[in-house]
Structures are given as C-alpha cells and as structure tokens.
Structure 1
Amino acid sequence: MATRYWVISLPVQNSAASLWSRLQESISKRSFDTLLYRFNIPNIRVGTLDSLLSLSDDLLKSNSFIEGVSHKIRRQIEELEKVSGVVSSSLTVDGVPVDSYLTRFVWDEAKYPTMSPLRETVDGIHVQIAKIEDDLKVRVAEHNNVRSQLNAINRKQAGSLAVRDLSNLVKPQDIITSEHLTTLLAVVSKYSQKDWLSSYETLTTYVVPRSSKKLHEDNEYALYTVTLFSRDADNFRTKARERGFQIRDFEYNPETQESRKQELEKLMQDQDTLRSSLLQWCYTSYGEVFSSWMHFCAVRIFVESILRYGLPPSFLSVVLAPSVKSEKKVRSILEELCDSTNSTYWKSEDDGGMGGALGGDADAHPYVSFTINLI
C-alpha cells in the first residue's frame, strides 16, 4: 500500500474524458509504476468568489489539523496493537481499506449534502474531528491512568529491598507479635551480612538471641527479621541506622494483603478492558476521521481549482501515487498537460518563476496539487 498520494486537478481545455485519456497514456508510457485514479467530485455549491477566497485561507490550516488527528489515532492503534500482541490489521472505512477508499472515493451525499454552503460543510467536518480528538484525549488519559497505577505497583515489586513492597516476601510465621515482643524487618547491604549477624544481638539490650532469619536477597540487599521487646524497638532502629542497617516499617495484615492482591487483579483487568475498548474505538474513529478528511480534500481541490481556473468549474481531479524516483517525471507530464504559457509562469523558484514566490505545495505548479500522507 502506498502511504503518500498526490491529489491533483488539471484545467480542462476541451473535455475531461480526452484529458483523462491523455494523462493515462502518458503515465503508462513514461511512469508505468505510478498508480493513477480519478478523484470524483460531485457538483458542489460554488457560492460567491468572496466566500471561496475566505474559505481558501482556512483550508490549509484545517487540513493540517485533520491530518494530525488522523496520525494521532493511527499511532495510538500501532502502540496498542504492539502492547496487546495483536497482529496489525488493515485500517478501514466502513470495511473498505483506507487506500481503496481514497483511490475509489465516492462523495457521501447523505452526510454532506452538495447543496449546503461549503463553509458549513468544512466547519462541520472541523467540529466533528475536534470532538473525536477530545474524546481520544479523555480515553487515552483514562487508560494511561490505570497503566500508571499498575506501573507504580510493579516498580514497588521490582525495586530493591530498600524501597520495594515487602508484603509478598513476608509470611505470617515470619512475624512474632505479642504483648511484649515484636518482629522488625532489617534491610542489610549484601556485603554487610556478616556484620549484621555478628552484631544485631548486641545493638540493644532486649534482643531475642538467634532470632534473625534471612527472608530474601536481591542484587544489593538482604532482608532479615529480628525479634525483640516492643519497648526497645525505637532504640533498636536508631542503633541499627548508626551501623548502616535500614529497619523497614512493616505491619503484617492478612486483610491488607488480600486487599492489595484484589486491587492488583482489578487494575490488570481494568487495563485489559480499557485497552481493548480504546483499540476498538480507535479503529472506528480512524475510519470516521479518514472519511471526513477525504471529503475535506474534495472540497479543498474544488475550491482551489475554481480560484485557479475560474468559473464555470472545468477541471479534472485525479489521485496519483508516484514513487520517489518517478516524481520529477510525473510532474513533467502534468505540466505538459497544462497551458504552456501558464506552465512557464508557474515554474518553481529554482527555475526563476512565480511558484516559489507564492510558496506552498499547491502554488508551486501550474495546476492545483497537494499531498496526502497516510502515516
């Protein structure tokens, strides 16, 4: 599938059918690898010249906005498919692949009545796309919020013993809690374990001898228990800190443990549900945005052609997908099909003509031209 297309309109001197035949013949002979299609635009309500001039000023900016929203949704789809392990699927508009929808474009009269003022059609498309973009932001934020909560929990589980959640490392039998005794959890540097084992009993007076047991070890630290009289706990924390041992605050609570487990399971379920829902919404919304974008492009090519070639509307609009190496050749073919004096006037700045002075893709040629980038 091509990802970059040109939408072109050429002025018709005699008949659109004969111009189309000449274009097909030239492309097939001199640039046979270039895809070429008619871009059919219905008889749209023209309005006044002033209204077209006013509309033309907004078309480029609006096109950038719509194209940007299209790309945002596409990137979101790619990200979600990658995370979900979903095989990338062809994006569609009502079941039709987007490239086919573009190259076989048919105006939707029911959605965009051709007798409506062009400004009304363009503004309606802009409002619709803006609403979809706002909806995207809300849905992505909701999904990212759950993902952030999960990431925070996972960081706690994956960090070093100095910072990670210890609840899944400690069993009920590791903790002694009575009227007079309590068990503390000490985080000891991996290389200070001998020091801990030889000194913990004498850090304070009321430590239970041989009460320290190693529960876990990571790349940096080891986790030990130590049992002592409750009244001596604060003093022990102070003495341990002076020796470089960290006493972690921890209270074993089976209900809290179960609650955390359920919270984690719910977050994981919510993330899967939100991700699936967001992906399906993106598939549908991309189709809506793309369809609106193509109708917008039809209005744009119509307006620019009227302003370029005059009234009554007499132009041939087409879609091409030339390869990079064929672009100059195709541009040459298109210029040859325009009036020769007009072609000289509209040469690009590099050739000393007016095209570069006016700027913009559409103004650099003696015909109307702009690019559609699908990605």
Structure 2
Amino acid sequence: MASSARYWVASLPVHTSKQAVWTNLQSSITSQAFDTPLYRFSAPDLRVGTLDSLLALSDDLVKSNTFIEGVTQKIRRQIDELERVTGTDGSPPTVDGVPVDSYLTRFVWDEAKYPTMSPLREIVDDIHLQVARIEDDMKIRAAEYNNVRSQLNAIYRKQSGSLAVRDVSNLVKPDDIITSEHLVTLIAVIPTYSQKDWLASYETLTNFVVPRSSKKLHEDNEYALYTVTLFGRVADNFKTSAREKGFQIRDFENSTEAQEDRKNEVEKLKHEQDAMMGSLLQWCYASYGEVFSSWMHFCAVRIFTESIMRYGLPPSFLAVVASPPLKSEKKVRSVLESFCDDANSSFWKSDDEVVIAGLGGESEVYPYVSFTINVV
C-alpha cells in the first residue's frame, strides 16, 4: 500500500532579497524546528494580466486543484489495486524517472510545455484539459479491464460455488449418463438434509423412473449431486414434481466438445486479463508521473497568483516547500508568520486562529500564502 507524505507550499513577502529571506528562514527553521525539511519552490515569473483576471482565476484555483489532486490519487489507488491483485510490490511511481517527492522539492518549470508569457488562464485551462483527458482515458481502460475481470470472476464463482449455482459439467463423467432412444439421465441437486427423502421418493415422483438408478456424484457443505434415469417422455413431469419437493434439476451439457470450449474460453479470458492488467499498470505508472507533473505546474501558478493577490505588485515573494512532522507544525507556522510584518500581510495576523472558509483553498488563513499537498 502506498505511503503518503504531507507538504506545505508557502510564499513569504520579500523586501530585501530572496536570498536574504531564504537564509534567515533556513536559520529560523533549523533553530526552532530542526526536524522539518525545507526547500525552495521554483515558481517562475508569469504573466500577471489584469486584476479582474486574477480575481476570476483565483476563484477557480481551489476547484481545479481538487480535481487534479483527485485524479492523481485515483491513478495511485489503481496502481495499488493492480499490485494487490498480482501480488507484486512494484517500485513507486516516478516523474521522468525522478521520485515524486524529489520532483516536488526540486521542481523546475517546463517552459517548452507551458510558456511563461501565456496568459495564466490559458496555462490553467491547458493543465486542466490535459488531466481531464488522462482521467477519461483511465475510465475507458479500467472499464475494459474490469469487464474481463468480471467475466472471469463469474466463471470462477460457477466453478467454485455451491452445487446450486456452480457448473456441474466437470463433476459428471460420461459413464454416469445413460442416453438412448427412450431413456435420459437427469442431474439433481439435493439439500444435504434431504438426501434420505430423495432416495425414498425419487422413484415415485412420476411414472417410468428406472428403479435404483440414482447415484451420488458429489457433495459439499450444503448440497449433494445425484443422477436419476427415466424415460424421456416423462422428464418434464419429473422436473415439476421434483421442484415441488425442493429438489433442483440442473441443466448441463454432456459434451466433451462443450467442456473443451468452456476451458478454452477461460484460458482466453485469463490471457486477456493478464495482458490488460500489465498494460493498465504500465499506463498508470506513466500517467501518474504526467498528472503529478501537471499538478506541480498548477501549484506554481497557484502560488504565483495567490502571492500577487496577497502581497501586491510587482511580484516579490519567496516560495518554499516544507514537510514538518505533526509535532513541529505550530513551530513552523510561527516561524513563517514572523516573516510577515509588512502592511499587506498584517491584516491576516491574529493571536487567535483565523478561519475564513473558501479563501486560498484552506479553512485556516495565515498572513502568508499556504496550501497543502498530499503526496501518495
């Protein structure tokens, strides 16, 4: 099962130089929360546009992030499920050959894929559209795989279930069956507790039943499988009388060719399932990396946009990634807040916890930009 890691992406206002803020932040974290890894997050200078466009984009960022994060987690869960079914424990997914946590902490913007001079809305829409295509592709691939798997499971249930539902053809041997111009052999499924009743009554359920012709072929915890031989012209009457007494007459094919066809069908489905499973797993590994990369580019747009909205123009902020243990979270929050003494950030400061639903994607709002990334 995949382990998870929790990261904060945050930005702090810069009034001197980014390097000076970074050096001071490193020193503060080391002295107060030494167990917290800290990294710079490479958010590029993007095209700001108008204030109205930033406001409109900011409203959509949280919803888009929820969608992209959800697709990432869906693919990861599918990987876990496939590995559970196969009994394998593959290597964790990567992004361009790099572990996902390393990709996050060493993120570099892909200028060729997302030109920084493109409008922010265009970049966000491109990312959203790409992830949506991958999600649609995954739904189709997973549905095809699950369809084959369901067919196989249905066959296995018939082969391994109780005698009331399973295929009994493989329990009946050719010499158990008598077939002639006038005689037929039927297969009866009898509740275990009713076997004495069956043996005492089957000869009288209708006329023309061959005496002492019933033979037990198989028994499980609930039912026993018997044969009975009678004249073919009274078979329907016998079935009706048997049902009235709680005996089930099972249909089956006494054909070696039919049994061979069923065996071949199972082998074909197994081969198809294995091939589709391998293909789907390989696709999931590749697509997870692609979606995760798109998500990190989206986070770069988000940290840039929310930092402009928080600190104003021109863009002057330091973006960082931190991964504090639970016991150090309050200390790290306190350190980050200590870097926010300017007028643009002081509004958000409070001795008490500030809670403003829906702003910045977090229920807790801080004097600096901050949101959480859960990596699985």
Scaled by the length of structure 2, the TM-score of the pair is: 0.94
Match of 2:17 in 1: 15
Match of 1:141 in 2: 143
Please state whether the residue corresponding to 2:170 is helix, strand or coil: coil
Q: Distance in 2 between matches of 1:282 and 1:207?
A: 61
Please state whether the residue corresponding to 2:142 is helix, strand or coil: helix
Counterparts in 2 of 1:363 and 1:120: CA distance versus 1, 3 Å: farther
Further displaced range: 242-251 or 129-138:
242-251
AA aligned opposite 1:74: R
Match of 2:371 in 1: 370
- Once superposed, what is the RMSD of the aligned Cα atoms? 1.9
Q: Distance in 1 between matches of 2:61 and 2:253?
A: 64
Further displaced range: 166-175 or 32-41:
166-175
AA aligned opposite 1:140: A
Counterparts in 2 of 1:346 and 1:358: CA distance versus 1, 3 Å: farther
**Cα distance, 1:310 vs. partner?**
1.3
**Cα distance, 1:342 vs. partner?**
5.4
Counterparts in 2 of 1:50 and 1:217: CA distance versus 1, 3 Å: same
Counterparts in 2 of 1:2 and 1:249: CA distance versus 1, 3 Å: closer
Please state whether the residue corresponding to 1:187 is helix, strand or coil: strand
Show CA shifts across 1:218-252 (max 9, x none).
11111111111111212222332333322222331
Query: Match for 2:71 among 55, 63, 69?
Result: 69
Q: Distance in 2 between matches of 1:58 and 1:158?
A: 52
Show CA shifts across 1:254-286 (max 9, x none).
222111111111111111111111111000000
Contact 1:2–1:321 (8 Å) recurs in 2: no
Show CA shifts across 1:317-336 (max 9, x none).
00000111111110100111
Q: Distance in 1 between matches of 2:314 and 2:240?
A: 91
Show CA shifts across 1:77-120 (max 9, x none).
11111111111421200110000000000111111111111111
Further displaced range: 108-117 or 289-298:
108-117
Please state whether the residue corresponding to 2:356 is helix, strand or coil: helix
Match of 2:174 in 1: 172
Q: Distance in 1 between matches of 2:89 and 2:168?
A: 38
Q: Distance in 2 between matches of 1:244 and 1:202?
A: 15
Contact 1:8–1:368 (8 Å) recurs in 2: yes
Please state whether the residue corresponding to 2:29 is helix, strand or coil: helix
Match of 2:57 in 1: 55
The reply to whether residue 128 of structure 1 matches residue 122 of structure 2 is: no
Query: Match for 1:302 among 297, 301, 304?
Result: 304
Please state whether the residue corresponding to 2:171 is helix, strand or coil: coil
AA aligned opposite 2:313: L
Match of 2:283 in 1: 281
AA aligned opposite 2:370: S
Q: Distance in 2 between matches of 1:142 and 1:307?
A: 45
AA aligned opposite 2:44: P
The reply to whether residue 231 of structure 1 matches residue 233 of structure 2 is: yes
The reply to whether residue 347 of structure 1 matches residue 349 of structure 2 is: yes
AA aligned opposite 2:130: Q
**Cα distance, 1:357 vs. partner?**
7.1
Match of 2:356 in 1: 356
Q: Distance in 2 between matches of 1:282 and 1:352?
A: 41
Show CA shifts across 1:124-175 (max 9, x none).
0000000000011111111111111112112222222122211111122211
Match of 1:243 in 2: 245
Gaps of 5+ in 2: none
**Cα distance, 1:56 vs. partner?**
1.2
Contact 2:356–2:363 (8 Å) recurs in 1: no
AA aligned opposite 2:373: I
Show CA shifts across 1:57-96 (max 9, x none).
1111111110010011111111111111111421200110
Please state whether the residue corresponding to 1:43 is helix, strand or coil: coil
Match of 2:295 in 1: 293
Match of 1:94 in 2: 96
Percent of aligned pairs with the same amino acid: 72
Please state whether the residue corresponding to 2:313 is helix, strand or coil: coil
Please state whether the residue corresponding to 1:356 is helix, strand or coil: coil
**Cα distance, 1:121 vs. partner?**
0.9
The reply to whether residue 194 of structure 1 matches residue 200 of structure 2 is: no
Match of 2:267 in 1: 265
**Cα distance, 1:344 vs. partner?**
4.6
Counterparts in 2 of 1:242 and 1:361: CA distance versus 1, 3 Å: closer
Contact 1:2–1:99 (8 Å) recurs in 2: no
Counterparts in 2 of 1:54 and 1:242: CA distance versus 1, 3 Å: closer
Further displaced range: 118-127 or 231-240:
231-240
Contact 1:335–1:343 (8 Å) recurs in 2: no
AA aligned opposite 2:20: S
Gaps of 5+ in 1: none
Q: Distance in 1 between matches of 2:358 and 2:200?
A: 84
Q: Distance in 2 between matches of 1:57 and 1:323?
A: 30
Contact 1:362–1:370 (8 Å) recurs in 2: no
Q: Distance in 2 between matches of 1:188 and 1:352?
A: 70
> Map of 1:148-163 to 2, 5 A cutoff?
148-163=150-165
**Cα distance, 1:178 vs. partner?**
1.2
Counterparts in 2 of 1:308 and 1:362: CA distance versus 1, 3 Å: farther
Further displaced range: 250-259 or 124-133:
250-259
